[in-house]
């Protein structure tokens, strides 16, 4: 190859590899929605949990078995709240819609905003844990010393695998002051 | 290194002298030299951090540094060794050797080559600068969140922007270096050198360069997400704002796993150069070596989640990543088999490069086997974040990547300086390193299996004896490396003159040019049969 041809070939490699590098930079960000899509597909992070109330009522109740649902509450140490479920566990039939409450209390002397995340164990039960209403769908604001009861309406879908006898629902409340939106 | 002698081709050897030579150089040999000295400097700095860690862990309890400072040491040791020592070390070898091995007069894009090196000192400065930014040095103000900088922990760090921009610069430097290497290999080969005639060091670097271009931008994206999470109110990784910390691990390890092969593939190439020379046989299974390297590179993209088996993953995901990971043992096994088969019935001699290459094959395989243990999900749940992991990755990175680089230096140093080095000093360096590196890292398998977690400044009493062995070994290993420094300086200053072939029967274009390699080589491309 003569000198000029080599120069042109080198420039071509430079251009192509830079395009690939730029594409991979974009791909790094694309991993965010890909991750979200995979979580939805596998029911990770409770992303398949939401269901319309009207739809939930149509689901047939499976009276033949009962599943124990345990409720669990965690507060991230950046948030000065007390947070606990009113009842710690209950037995439900798959398909029946139940309402439970969590209470949250602002222990600090300042206005405070929290955002809860949820998780369901065991993993294979997560896709079948349906909620028509949850305090975790939006931020919760508490004034100094304010205490509030927050409902969760949920249902275990009858498609829940037969070998699951216990399901745990966990909420973690994080300090969302930095991300506060006015409801 | 002065290269003012003229050689047969009779063209000019002139270049600026003093600091200007090094600042403005576009010569692949000068830039290779700069990379290698930079790498060695960072190796000593990162090694010093390691010795602080080992000094603190000599006894249980807190003796020398506080836990924050200790965490900073583990973090900085990892970052400096990976991005400062190992990666630039390989790029330095590529700069020196690839043009010589493919018969090219220089790298394809020489001015970009200069730029990609000179970003490094600034990146390194930015990386270590926060260490000196607190009221007291001993407070540990540098990065302290582990080299993997998991969010949201790393988001709590005050000087995060320094870290992020240092990583950006290091990434840009690596990408430019990789582009240069690809262009050189694809476009600048001597007539007659087909792809399947290329020396394996060139092949492994070509594949490594593609890995770099594929994953360094993902790392850049990952740290950019951290940057915007920290300073611009996004919440990629912050649960309070709807983000997800586990997402961080996926993005990071999508870069991180190919990265570990970036740090080992060139060493595979080096060993594949050295062993045939000193076994006086052709490399066994040349084409299978090429395909094995390419397979390892491909597999590296689909195994990342084996670093995060304990985050809570669907069983199907765990199984997929476990099987894919174990599959890597196949091409790696092919390579080890080929190296051993090359030595089989060869007329072996044990010059210093060969000693490093053989110990590489043996010790890297130990690291590979502990890797298979870690790939098995139920076992990994036990080993995760223990010293067993530390033992594993030091066997593949110290006795793997680093031994490869040192072996390469011993192999090509006479070509670079024109002088043979002291065999006696080289043997001392090798044997002290070999014994001490095993004394350091082998006991970590046991402390890890017994449950000692990594990244803590303290440990229960029962781990004391093994930790003391590790600490003693680490100090011997660390100080032994000064022998290499002495040996290299002595070799630059003089010694028995090296022939152009240097090693009896060595094959490859680099052995056809005089020693030391003149400032300009292959102005007229050689013909490869």
State the average pLDDT over residues B409-430: 97
3-state helix, strand, coil in chain B (%, to 5): 70, 0, 30
Sign of CA dihedral B311, B315, B317, B320: positive
Phi-psi sector, B121: left (phi>0), alpha (psi -120 to 50), beta: alpha
Q: B236 to chain A: which residues are within 8 Å by CB?
A: 32
Residue A10 and residue B108: Cβ atoms within 8 Å?
yes
Is the per-residue pLDDT at A55 higher than 80? no
Could you tell me which residue, A138 or B147, shows the higher pLDDT? B147
> B28 an active-site residue?
no
Residue among B283, B293, B418 nearest B344 (CA): B283
Same-domain status, A149 and A68: yes
Is residue B241 in a domain?
Answer: no
State the average pLDDT over residues B248-274: 97
What burial class does residue B12 get, using C-beta atoms within 10 Å of its C-beta: 0-12 exposed, 13-18 middle, 19+ buried? Answer: exposed
Is the per-residue pLDDT at A49 higher than 90? no
Q: With b meaning 16 or more CB within 10 Å and e meaning fewer, what string describes B292-306?
A: bbbbbbebbeebbbb
Selecting among B261, B304, B339, B395, the annotated active-site residue is: B261
Is the per-residue pLDDT at B4 higher than 60? no
Same-domain status, A59 and A145: yes
Find the range with the poorest average confidence among A7-16, B2-11, B36-45, B215-224.
Answer: B2-11
Is residue B298 in a domain?
Answer: yes
Residues of A with CB under 8 A from a CB of B: 1, 6, 9-10, 13-14, 17-18, 20-29, 31-32, 35, 42, 44-45, 76, 78, 114-115, 117, 123, 172, 174-176, 178-179
Is the per-residue pLDDT at B7 higher than 90? no
Q: With b meaning 16 or more CB within 10 Å and e meaning fewer, what string describes B426-440?
A: beebbebbbebbbbb
Q: A20 to chain B: which residues are within 8 Å by CB?
A: 213-214
Average confidence score pLDDT of chain A? 89
* Apex B395 CA angle, B389 and B396, nearest 5: 95
Same-domain status, A30 and A117: no
Instruction: Note whether B382 and B448 are within 8 A (CB).
Output: no
B65 — pLDDT class (breaks 50, 70, 90): very high
Nearest to A28 among B112, B218, B244 (CB): B218
Find the range with the poorest average confidence among A67-76, A78-87, B12-21.
Answer: B12-21
What's the start-to-end Cα distance of chain A, in Å?
68
Distance CA B251, CA B308 (A): 12
Q: Within a 10 A sphere around the Cβ of A118, how many other Cβ atoms?
A: 20
pLDDT of residue B68: 94
Is residue B258 in a domain?
Answer: yes
Same-domain status, A102 and A13: no
Give the range of the structural domain holding residue A145, as residue numbers without chain letter.
46-179
Same-domain status, A15 and A51: no
> B332 an active-site residue?
yes
Average confidence score pLDDT of chain B? 95
Nearest to A13 among B187, B216, B218 (CB): B187
> B359 an active-site residue?
no
Q: A78 to chain B: which residues are within 8 Å by CB?
A: 240
Same-domain status, A33 and A117: no
Is the per-residue pLDDT at B5 higher than 50? no
Residue B188 and residue A6: Cβ atoms within 8 Å?
yes
pLDDT of residue B382: 94
B529 — pLDDT class (breaks 50, 70, 90): confident
The domain tally of chain A equals 2
Q: Which two tokens stand for residue A75?
A: 């507060």
Is residue B230 in a domain?
Answer: no
User: A25 CA to chain B: closest CA distance, Å?
Assistant: 4
pLDDT of residue B514: 95
Nearest Cα residue in chain A from B104: A6
Distance CA B364, CA B361 (A): 5
Distance CA A43, CA B246 (A): 15
Residue B182 and residue A22: Cβ atoms within 8 Å?
no
State the average pLDDT over residues B246-262: 96
Q: CATH no. for residue A159? A: 2.60.370.10
Could you tell me which residue, A56 or B350, shows the higher pLDDT? B350
pLDDT of residue A48: 62
Q: What tens digit of pLDDT does each residue of B470-502 get?
A: 999 999 999 999 999 999 999 999 999 999 999
Is the per-residue pLDDT at A3 higher than 90? no
Q: B213 to chain A: which residues are within 8 Å by CB?
A: 17, 20-21, 24
Q: A174 to chain B: which residues are within 8 Å by CB?
A: 238-240
Is the per-residue pLDDT at A155 higher than 60? yes
Tokens 């049969």 belong to residue = B529
Selecting among B25, B116, B272, B300, the annotated active-site residue is: B272
pLDDT of residue A39: 83
Distance CA B166, CA B127 (A): 5
CA dihedral A36, A41, A44, A46 (to 10 degrees): 90
Same-domain status, A89 and A128: yes
CB of B372 less than 8 A from some CB of A? no
DSSP 8-state symbol, B85: I
Q: B179 to chain A: which residues are within 8 Å by CB?
A: 13-14, 17-18, 21
Residue A174 and residue B220: Cβ atoms within 8 Å?
no
The domain tally of chain B equals 1
Work out the percent of chain B whose per-residue pLDDT is above 90: 91
> B259 an active-site residue?
yes
Q: Which two tokens stand for residue A53?
A: 């109330």
Selecting among B39, B154, B173, B470, the annotated active-site residue is: B173
State the average pLDDT over residues B124-138: 91
Same-domain status, A62 and A37: no
> B433 an active-site residue?
no
Give the range of the structural domain holding residue B358, as residue numbers without chain letter.
18-102+146-159+190-208+253-511
Distance CA B443, CA A6 (A): 53
- The alpha-helical segments, DSSP class H, found in B155-199 are 160-187
Residue B109 and residue A10: Cβ atoms within 8 Å?
yes
Instruction: Note whether B176 and B112 are within 8 A (CB).
Output: yes
> B257 an active-site residue?
yes
Distance CA B187, CA B60 (A): 57
Nearest to A25 among B179, B217, B244 (CB): B217
Same-domain status, A17 and A97: no
State the average pLDDT over residues B444-466: 96
Q: Which of B231, B240, B313, B377 to mutate to test the interface with A (most CBs of A within 10 A)?
A: B240
What's the start-to-end Cα distance of chain B, in Å?
33
Is the per-residue pLDDT at B3 higher than 90? no
Residue A29 and residue B221: Cβ atoms within 8 Å?
yes
State the average pLDDT over residues A140-162: 92
User: B263 CA to chain A: closest CA distance, Å?
Assistant: 19
Could you tell me which residue, A55 or B392, shows the higher pLDDT? B392
A147-156/A166-175 β-pairing:
unpaired
φ/ψ of A171, rounded to 5, equals -115, 140
DSSP string, B23-37: HH---HHHHHHHHHH
Tokens 């298979």 belong to residue = B372
Q: CATH no. for residue B370? A: 1.20.210.10
Is the per-residue pLDDT at B98 higher than 80? yes
Is the per-residue pLDDT at B388 higher than 50? yes
Q: Which long-range contacts (CB under 8 A, 24 or more apart) does B156-164 make?
A: B159/B130, B159/B133, B160/B226, B160/B227, B160/B230, B161/B227, B161/B230, B161/B231, B162/B126, B162/B127, B162/B129, B162/B130, B163/B127, B163/B130, B163/B223, B164/B223, B164/B224, B164/B226, B164/B227
User: A159 CA to chain B: closest CA distance, Å?
Assistant: 18
Q: A163 to chain B: which residues are within 8 Å by CB?
A: none
Q: What tens digit of pLDDT does each residue of B167-189 get?
A: 999 999 999 999 999 999 999 99
CB of B192 less than 8 A from some CB of A? no
Is residue B519 in a domain?
Answer: no
Is the per-residue pLDDT at B281 higher than 70? yes
Q: Within a 10 A sphere around the Cβ of A158, how many other Cβ atoms?
A: 16
User: A31 CA to chain B: closest CA distance, Å?
Assistant: 7
Which chain B residues in 295-314 lie under 8 Å from chain A, judged by CB atoms?
312, 314
Same-domain status, A124 and A61: yes
- Number of residues assigned to chain A: 183
Same-domain status, A83 and A10: no
Predicted model pTM: 0.92
Q: What tens digit of pLDDT does each residue of B106-130 get?
A: 999 999 999 999 999 999 999 999 9
Same-domain status, A66 and A38: no
Half-sphere CA count of A105, side-chain side, radius 13 A:
7
> B147 an active-site residue?
yes
pLDDT of residue A1: 55
User: B427 CA to chain A: closest CA distance, Å?
Assistant: 43
A166-175/A67-75 β-pairing:
parallel
Selecting among B259, B318, B380, B510, the annotated active-site residue is: B259
Distance CA A42, CA B460 (A): 41
A47 — pLDDT class (breaks 50, 70, 90): low
Please count the residue pairs, one from chain A and one from chain B, whose beta carbons lie less than 8 angstroms apart.
Answer: 109
Strand order in the sheet with A166-175: A89-92, A67-75, A166-175, A112-121, A140-142
pLDDT of residue B135: 83
Is the per-residue pLDDT at B242 higher than 90? no
Instruction: Note whether B444 and B392 are within 8 A (CB).
Output: no
User: A94 CA to chain B: closest CA distance, Å?
Assistant: 23
> B77 an active-site residue?
yes
Distance CA A86, CA A22 (A): 52
pLDDT of residue A182: 58
Is the per-residue pLDDT at B1 higher than 50? no
> B454 an active-site residue?
yes
Q: What tens digit of pLDDT does each residue of A168-180 get?
A: 999 999 998 888 7
B13 — pLDDT class (breaks 50, 70, 90): low
pLDDT of residue A138: 87
pLDDT of residue B162: 97
């Amino acid at each position: 190859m003569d000198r000029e041809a080599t120069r042109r070939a080198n420039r071509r490699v430079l251009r192509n590899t830079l395009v690939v590098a730029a594409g991979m930079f974009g791909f790094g960000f694309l991993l965010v929605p890909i991750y979200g899509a995979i979580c939805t597909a596998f029911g990770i992070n409770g992303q398949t949990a939401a269901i319309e109330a009207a739809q939930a009522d149509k689901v047939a109740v499976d009276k033949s078995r009962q599943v124990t649902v345990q409720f669990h509450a965690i507060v991230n140490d950046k948030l000065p709240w007390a947070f606990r479920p009113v009842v710690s566990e209950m037995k439900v039939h798959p398909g029946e819609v139940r309402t439970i409450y969590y209470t949250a209390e602002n222990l600090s002397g300042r206005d405070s905003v929290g955002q809860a995340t949820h998780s369901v164990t065991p993993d294979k039960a997560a896709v079948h844990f349906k909620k028509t209403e949850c305090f975790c769908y939006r931020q919760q604001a508490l004034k100094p010393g304010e205490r509030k009861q927050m409902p969760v309406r949920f249902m275990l879908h009858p498609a829940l695998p037969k070998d699951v006898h216990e399901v745990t629902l966990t909420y973690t409340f994080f300090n969302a002051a930095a991300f506060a939106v006015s409801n | 290194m002065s290269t003012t002698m003229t050689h047969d081709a009779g063209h000019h050897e002139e270049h600026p002298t003093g600091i200007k030579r090094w600042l403005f150089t576009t010569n692949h040999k000068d830039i290779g030299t700069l990379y290698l000295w930079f790498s060695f400097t960072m190796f000593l700095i990162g090694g010093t951090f390691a010795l602080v860690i080992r000094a603190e862990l000599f006894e249980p309890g807190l003796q020398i540094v506080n836990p924050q400072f200790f965490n900073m040491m583990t973090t900085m040791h990892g970052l400096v060794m990976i991005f400062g020592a190992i990666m630039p070390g390989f790029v330095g070898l590529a700069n020196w050797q690839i043009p010589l091995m493919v018969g090219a007069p220089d790298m394809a894009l020489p001015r970009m080559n200069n730029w990609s090196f000179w970003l490094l000192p600034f990146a390194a400065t930015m990386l270590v600068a926060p260490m000196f930014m607190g009221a007291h040095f001993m407070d540990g103000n540098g990065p302290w969140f582990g080299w993997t900088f998991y969010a949201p922990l790393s988001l709590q760090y005050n000087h995060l922007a320094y870290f992020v921009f240092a990583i950006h610069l290091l990434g840009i430097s690596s990408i430019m270096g990789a582009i240069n290497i690809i262009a050189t290999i694809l476009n600048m080969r001597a007539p007659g050198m087909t792809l399947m005639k290329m020396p394996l060091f060139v092949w492994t670097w070509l594949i490594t360069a593609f890995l770099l271009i594929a994953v360094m931008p993902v790392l850049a994206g990952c740290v950019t997400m951290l940057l915007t999470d920290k300073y611009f109110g996004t919440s990629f990784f912050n649960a309070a704002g709807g983000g997800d910390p586990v997402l961080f691990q996926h993005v990071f390890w999508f870069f991180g796993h190919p990265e570990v092969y970036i740090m080992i593939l060139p060493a595979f190439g080096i060993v594949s150069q050295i062993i045939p020379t000193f076994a006086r046989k052709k490399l066994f299974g040349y084409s299978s070596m090429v395909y094995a390297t390419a397979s390892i590179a491909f597999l590296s993209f689909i195994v990342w989640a084996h670093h995060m088996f304990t985050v809570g993953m669907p069983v199907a995901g765990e199984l997929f990543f476990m099987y894919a990971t174990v599959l890597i043992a196949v091409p790696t096994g092919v390579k080890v088999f080929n190296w051993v088969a090359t030595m089989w019935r060869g007329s072996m001699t044990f010059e210093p490069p060969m000693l490093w290459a053989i110990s590489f094959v043996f010790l890297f395989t130990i690291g590979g086997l502990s890797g298979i243990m870690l790939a098995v999900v139920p076992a990994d749940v036990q080993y995760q974040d223990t010293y067993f992991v530390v033992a594993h990755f030091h066997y593949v990175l110290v006795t793997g990547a680093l031994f490869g680089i040192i072996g390469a230096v011993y192999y090509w140093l006479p070509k670079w300086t024109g002088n043979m080095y002291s065999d006696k000093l080289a043997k001392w360096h090798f044997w002290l390193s070999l014994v001490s590196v095993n004394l350091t890292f082998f006991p970590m398998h046991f402390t890890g299996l017994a449950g000692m977690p990594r990244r803590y400044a303290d440990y229960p009493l029962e781990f004391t004896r093994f930790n003391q062995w590790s600490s003693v070994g680490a100090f011997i290993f660390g100080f032994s490396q000064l022998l290499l420094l002495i040996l290299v300086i002595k070799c630059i200053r003089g010694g028995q003159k090296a022939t152009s072939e240097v090693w009896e029967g060595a094959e490859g274009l680099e052995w056809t040019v005089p020693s030391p390699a003149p400032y300009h080589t292959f102005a007229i491309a050689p013909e490869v049969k």
